[in-house]
Amino acid sequence: MLFAIALSFAACSSNTSGAGGTEAQTESGFKVVFHEDAEGTAGKTGDFVSFQYEVSNGDTTLFDSREVGNTPQTTIPETSDSRVNTSAVLEALKLASKGDSLSVYYPLDSMASRPQGFEGKEFLIYRLKIEDVLDAETYEAEQREKEEASRAVYLAKKSFLDETLEAYKEGDLDGEIVEHPSGLKMIVHEAGNGEKPEGGQMINANYLGVLMEDGSEFDNSFQKGEAFEFPLGRGGVIQGWDIGFAELSKGAKATFFIPAELGYGERGYPPVIPANADLVFYVELNDFK
């Protein structure tokens, strides 16, 4: 009851007009300024909040979650624990509803040392844009739907890869296989459009990987419902990927047949990939930038 009263008071009665918008305070006293205050019910304990945020020193934006790619999401906690470092952002989410845009001011004198870029500044400022607020029941229902959809996609991709691998072993794809000088072999199922990515660009792709020998699956992104990102040609993935993705255009769908020396080599990747294992990946290049 006390939490509900405090939340209602902070969201409504305590708001005052500020120079940059409507001003409020979180339960621990952090300053919040609403730049856009959309109609709607403020978040409550247990709600799932999706939002984008920037970190600023007041003059310069030092971090923007939009540049990372994935939308941050968190659950609103029951209350703040005074025994630990209070999260100004989590407290501010209790005041916000879907569509709100707000700034949260964290006093730098509360920190043991000032982070780089905040010399001579009074506040670390979080600028939040609330994309959605869902109660636990609705969120869980949506997650189940996403999981079912992701599984259906995965099963279709797995069946396709199984058929491709079988055809490859039977020699039925010999006329379609392209072999790179490195030893990588690939077949492009859909060519995609436009230019090919260059070294250093961030690749956004989906994949499904199996062992060449028996078709045993060791990893895939489709069931996770989330694409994989990596910088091309920077050694963050196996050589076969750096070579193969450099040959694809945006929207391309392909299968890579990767010899062990372009994969995990003599060491393998225990326990899922044995030593000297040849690998097969079905991949989809969603985007690069």
The amino acid at residue 145 is E
Which stretches of the chain drop beneath a pLDDT of 50? 1-19, 82-85
Query: HEC profile for 185-199?
Result: EEEEEECCECCCCCC
Confirm if 88 and 110 have CB atoms less than 8 A apart: no
Q: Which residue ranges form the domains of the chain, and what is each CATH number?
A: 2-134 (3.10.50.40), 139-288 (3.10.50.40)
Q: DSSP 3-state assignment of 238?
A: coil
Please state, as a whole number, how many other Cβ atoms lie within 10 Å of the Cβ of residue 107. 13
Phi first, then psi, for residue 32 (nearest 5°) are -130, 135
What's residue 20's pLDDT?
A: 59
What's residue 264's pLDDT?
A: 98
Here the tokens at position 78 are 């029951």
Q: Enumerate the β-bridge partners of residue 61.
A: 56
DSSP one-letter string for 140-198: HHHHHHHHHHHHHHHHHHHHHHHHHHHHHHHTTTTTT-EE-TTS-EEEEEE--BSPPP-
228, 198, 224, 214: which is closest to 289 by C-alpha?
198
What's residue 197's pLDDT?
A: 97
